[in-house]
Structure 1
Amino acid sequence: MSILQAIIIAIVEGITEYLPISSTGHMIIASSLMDIHKQEFTKLFEVAIQLGAILAVVVLYWRKFFDFKRWQFYVKLVIAVIPALVLGFLFSDKIDALLESPTTVAITLLVGGIFLLFVDKVFNQQATSQIDTEEKISNGRAFAIGLWQCIAMIPGVSRSAATIIGGMQQKLTRKLAAEFSFFLAVPTMCAASGYSLFVKKWDGSGTVQKGYELILSSSDNLYAFIVGNIVAFVVAMLAIKFFIGFLQKRGFRLFGWYRIIAGIVLLILIYTQVITA
């Protein structure tokens, strides 16, 4: 992977991680178009650069994350992340297999896009029933949102979309549902990145290595990892600021149409063998 390729994938990650359009799906598309999607380092890189996107949330909401007096906040995040940790551990091999399938991404982009066209009406909320502050989110509601997050283990679904819609289904306002989705991303992606870096074994050029060993195995890998995380951090900060305002004013419909178009384009690329399924 060249530095330019790393920057391209990092930009894709930064833009799409917190938008309801699937960061994993878009990174698979980008790496497939650059014909590097089958490289072990690429697969690791697409998980590891989430660290940059995670840092963006922590920096933007640092008052929330470092207010240790409000311990209930951390409890809710722990409760919400449990379903993903359990299912991710039990079905990691099957999830990895799905990550290598652009066809799966295309189908879920399409289906998810159609759903987003109607989600604002489906979860049309009355102002009197909305939960508008994090303190009002019960542990039970946090766990329910965590269950919604598990749907995003299917590439192309979008973790952001699943958790925001889950939050709205639990009566959270759009703004709070989006913010809680951002907060929940931190322990979720830390766990995924930590597993990929320190536990999972990768076959790097015939040598089985842990993730951090594969990164340190060459200067090119190390530079790509560092630059990728920096780029993902900066772009994710901009994307988060844009998304909160846009979602409050416009809702999900535009993202739904985008997903439908992206899914159709991807199916065409697969059919014409520009991207191998």
Structure 2
Amino acid sequence: MTLGTLVEALALGLLEGLTEFIPVSSTAHLLLAAHFIGFESTGKAFEVLIQLGAVLAILVVYFQRFLRVALQLPTNPGARRFVLGIVLAFLPAAVLGVLLHGFIKSVLFESPVTICAALIFGGVVLIVLDRIAFKPRYNNAMGFPLKTAFGIGVFQCLALIPGMSRSGSTIVGGLVLGADKRSAAEFSFFLALPTMLGAFVYDFWKNRSALSLDDGLLIAVGFVAAFCAALLVIRWLLDFVSRHGYAVFGWWRIAVGLAGLAGVMLGY
């Protein structure tokens, strides 16, 4: 392992933290960036495991709210409904992710063309939806009905395709099912906790015998960088989407997808 490899891991970690919670697909950005700079990770574990660093930033930002929910669980039906809603939203992608893990990692993760196509398609969807005058029925991410939470979880299954974006899929699901722009993004934050923790544990277990100390150091560098960058994004994103919506992210996705396809066609 060289200093250059450590710098690449740091840069990829920052990229992960900056893109995890905006609907542009952090996985697509990581895989495309790694592809074009020639960064190789064992079993693509780096790209999955450092995502937990970004997700843990949610615990810092929302610590008091989560603590309040935990303390109220025995007595407050609303707190219990929120936790059950997160569990129901987590299950669809968790089950499909386990069943399709091999195909996703060995086929979809290795296809820059598929990733770029998913980026472009998701970008078009965001732009179209941002122009629709939805009439939101819900503005509290911790008070969604259970059927709405489960429906958002079904949408999250789209994110098993690299490039579709976990946050993008869940935000679109929230908007379609009646959430306003801010609460859709916030529920996506909350759902990221069990989803990415599950992905971390499962992927680590699957790659445990192949990972070396060098791999561990690279993952640690990327993990910390992702955590720090995500703290900034979480605090900024909710106010931004409340004022400006999601179209800008759609255009960004399309630009990155087209640039990626051009790079692939040119043989990079």
What TM-score, normalized to structure 1? 0.88
Matched, 1:183 2:193: no
| Structure 1 residue 94, shift from structure 2 partner | 1.7
8 Å contact kept, 2:156–2:169: yes
Question: Residue 207 of structure 1 aligns with which residue?
Answer: none
Question: Residue 40 of structure 1 aligns with which residue?
Answer: 42
| Structure 1 residue 135, shift from structure 2 partner | 4.5
> Does the C-alpha gap of structure 1 residues 116 and 135 become closer, same or farther in structure 2, counting only changes over 3 Å?
closer
Question: Residue 4 of structure 1 aligns with which residue?
Answer: 7
Give 1:64's aligned amino acid. R
8 Å contact kept, 2:122–2:250: yes
Quote the Cα distance in structure 1 between the aligned partners of 2:7 and 2:142.
43
Matched, 1:156 2:180: no
Give 1:62's aligned amino acid. F
Q: Specify which of 134, 140, 143 is matched with residue 141 of structure 2.
A: 134
Name the % identity.
38
> Counterpart of 1:194 in 2: which secondary structure?
helix
Matched, 1:225 2:232: no
Give 1:253's aligned amino acid. A
For structure 1, the 5+ residue unaligned runs are 203-209
Question: Residue 57 of structure 1 aligns with which residue?
Answer: 58
Question: Residue 206 of structure 1 aligns with which residue?
Answer: none
8 Å contact kept, 2:22–2:167: yes
RMSD between aligned alpha carbons? 1.5
Moved over 4 A (4+): none
What TM-score, normalized to structure 2? 0.91
Matched, 1:267 2:261: yes
Give 2:169's aligned amino acid. A
> Counterpart of 2:187 in 1: which secondary structure?
helix
Quote the Cα distance in structure 2 between the aligned partners of 1:66 and 1:72.
15
Question: Residue 110 of structure 1 aligns with which residue?
Answer: 120
How many residues align? The count is 256
8 Å contact kept, 2:25–2:163: yes
Give 2:11's aligned amino acid. I
Question: Residue 24 of structure 1 aligns with which residue?
Answer: 27
> Counterpart of 2:131 in 1: which secondary structure?
helix
Quote the Cα distance in structure 2 between the aligned partners of 1:100 and 1:174.
33
> Does the C-alpha gap of structure 1 residues 267 and 188 become closer, same or farther in structure 2, counting only changes over 3 Å?
same
